Structure 1
Amino acid sequence: MIRISIDAMGGDHGPQTILPALAQVAERRGDVRFLIYGREEAIRPVLEKHPRIAAVSQVFHCDVMVKMDDKPSAALRHGRWKSSMWKAIEAVKTGEADACVSAGNTGALMAMSKFCLRTMANIERPAIACIWPTLRSESVVLDVGATIGADAQQLTDFAILGAAMARALFEIERPTVGLLNIGVEEVKGQEEVKDAGRMLKASNLASLDYIGFVEGDDIGKGTSDVVVTEGFAGNIALKTAEGTAKQMASYLRSAMSRTLMSRIGYVLAKGAFDFLREKMDPRRSNGGVFLGLNGIVVKSHGGTDAEGFAAAIEVAYDMVRNRLLDRIEADLDLFHAKYPQSAGLGPEDEAEDTDIGTDA
């Protein structure tokens, strides 16, 4: 059985959206079990409408919930030990759950996850990895908001983490990896990026195929299975893509309703537009994975619906089923045997009041 702990109080809609999502996953995955954390008085009425979930779940009452606008350090001080978010993460630490999924405050979720689970050996900073739809299929892009700025060592760590996720999620034996840069020429870009490229090329890891630098338009093309960058650039790229998708959708709606002939054309081409809508649906790619921790934590978009939250649970399920942590540990051991580095940050560094995380 794969056991997933759920922060039922996270996101914009709480149990009203999250519990129906569990019902969708339970129908598709007969070997999944849920540990639901939150206010019992809010959970039970919704649970009664979904008897299938009640049969495969346990509910744990929590008095405290982390608000979407809480600062990470404040949430860590006041929400630790008692909040639904902390309890869901702690279940992974104690081994009661195999993965945690929350739609709550991203910064607070990252801070609590780092404090509770700690980073893996030799990992200084975790990364948020998202699934990016491309012309080829899908790619893993990281970091999209956890670490602002990264040195060469951290970028190479991100490459290893992203490749392990691609192997687990896409079942690719040797994923291609590209470093996001302002050009594909080796003389271009920041020194950290160029140094990371040299390290990846020299390492010749069997777990990934480093193809060099990629540019921003290569992300959508699907030039590589994994795209690596630091969190500032990654988050801007993510939000730009989301905004462009909404802009294009708005243009299409306006064009299709402008005249009688355009409305007739829409009816005739409805199948094609339905296919386009499905490809551009952000719910299908929902679920940012916190990589580099001693446990699997998945962040769902706070404003998503039940279908979107179910997609985030499916990501967590696949990460567990395909032994993501084991793959990461094996790859890191091989790499750091060639490039030793100091241990990760201590807990005193983990409650910084920085903008760690966004709605990835």
Structure 2
Amino acid sequence: MAASTVFADCCWVARPFRGLHLRRTLLLSSRFNNRMFLSSSVFAPVAMTTDTSSKLLDGKSVAKKIRDEIAIEIDKIKETTGIVPGLAVILVGSRKDSQTYVRNKKKACEDVGIASYEANLPEDCSEEEVIEHISQFNTNPSVHGILVQLPLPRHMHEEKILNAVIIEKDVDGFHPLNIGRLAMQGRDPLFVPCTPKGCIELLRRYEIEIKGKRAVVIGRSNIVGMPAALLLQRANATVTMVHSYTKNPEEITKQADIVISAAGVANLVRGSWLKPGAVVIDVGINPVDDPESARGYRLVGDVCFDEASEVVSAITPVPGGVGPMTIAMLLSNTLSSAKRLHKLK
């Protein structure tokens, strides 16, 4: 069975335009301190068993605890040094989803005490205008992190614009040097893309063992799939990537103790794909038709939740799983950047 096939939804009718490649709607936004994960878990550990009663990995609760920890640390920094961490967001165009993401990020910054800076540019602006705003934020000492909201308009060269952000303020973790360092043993990137970092942090908070486990990552985007695989490998898992050209994806996925799915296909991963007792992190955010909803659709993940819950030991919900972790990692990355740039411990 080809991985590029869009499988029928177990509960909903998936919209036909979705392919296996990670869609930009997965960019809930991204980010986190690459050197050290926040510790002091208060969440019950999850053991990998063959018990079919699955535990919900509550990203919303974990993210709140992380935000509370960040807020306390920022208060201390402000009190002792007067330094206020700052995050700048550049939004090009008027996409409703992008505007919503930016509002959520600004609200999250406000809640923990991070100063927000914003540049709103029209859809038809030039690349040079965007890069000029990036340059201004690059040299602004009050700004410690810079985020270019994706997707950009089609006439813009995404890589060129993202590379204009200096590596010291690349809280997205998209700079090639950050990704290169992540891929190399003995090297530490300044930042790691936040969604995959949030996935790993969620596993760590629930004390789910990664070392020595078999892991499968579904999807190989530069933003989620590829860095997620590198992070799992750094944690000493044996990692396989499943993508649109993978043969027998179901058989490969069923061997995994840990599955991270970032494909962008509603209910692609069925219960039959999963090993009993596995742990599933579902990154997908997919709208599917739902006539009973006021919006006419409902958000679901890549994993058919009802089927998977009967098989796995732990699984993230959609929404309320990886999404809140992504924003928490962005805040943590911004704090980390401020501490690094000001040489604070």
TM-score normalized by structure 2? 0.27
Larger radius of gyration: 1
Of structures 1 and 2, the one scoring higher in RCO (CA 8 A, sep 6+) is: 2
Which structure has more helix as a fraction of its residues?
Answer: 1
